[in-house]
Amino acid sequence: MSKEKVKKDTQGTQETALEENPIEKTLEKEAVKTEEYNLEIIRDYYGNVDPFYLSKKDPDYAYRFLRDEHKNLALKTGNLLFQKGGWQIVPREHLKRLGLKDADISSDGMFRRGDQILAFMPVKLFNEKEKNKEQKAKLQMKAIDDRLKKGDHNSGGTEIHDTMKGIQTQKELGM
């Protein structure tokens, strides 16, 4: 089969695939291979590609990128789960299982994107961490709701404090 025939057949297939999937219209991948240059090029015409996107993830783990700064890493990789900790830098072996190439892994064995490093934790711990965050947020909202319903006992009992006025309707204010 001639090169022109292959090119026409491939081009028709690409156009059909793009028509079927509108999301793919924004991306165009091309494997450019020569003896020395073997990078897979992504033409992102609309700027919609997330540089932190991981195409393969182990479903047993949650992933995130951490800023590569000593204090931040010390806090996030600490063992205090509910104090921002619990994350671990993803080791080289795990990165390889995710399908990353040696070229994507830095010399110190980490996966970096700019000044960010990939970290992970088991999904079970991540869900526990998120549940704790949600409970803390609900407690704060409950305190505000209680103050609106019952008043602030520190400043006049059930009377609404002046700083709280303005978020109630006229009916609630008795006007």
Residue 28 predicted with pLDDT over 60: no
What are the φ/ψ torsions at residue 118 (nearest 5 degrees)?
-75, 130
Structural domain range at position 153? 51-175
pLDDT classification of 105: cutoffs 50, 70, 90: confident
Average the pLDDT over each of 35-44, 52-61, 101-110, 125-134 and give the range with the smallest value.
35-44
In DSSP notation, 73-87 reads: HHHHTSS-TTTT---
**H runs (alpha helix) in the chain:** 3-20, 70-76, 92-97, 123-150, 170-173
Cβ within 8 Å of residue 83, ≥6 positions away: 75
Nearest Cα to Cα of residue 86 among 52, 133, 50: 133
Residues 131-162: pLDDT tens digits? 999 999 898 888 888 877 776 666 555 566 66
Q: Are residues 103 and 154 in the same domain?
A: yes
In a shared domain, residues 88 and 171: yes
The residue type found at 115 is D
Judge if 37 and 58 occupy the same domain.
no
Q: Are residues 143 and 164 in the same domain?
A: yes
Structural domains of the chain, count: 2
Model pTM score: 0.57
Same-domain status, 97 and 146: yes
Contact in structure between 102 and 151 (CB atoms under 8 Å): no
Residue at a domain's end among 29, 44, 59? 44
Sequence-ordered list of residues with C-beta below 8 angstroms from that of 86, at least 6 positions apart, any chain: 78, 79, 80, 121, 125, 126, 129
Is pLDDT above 60 for 170? Answer: yes
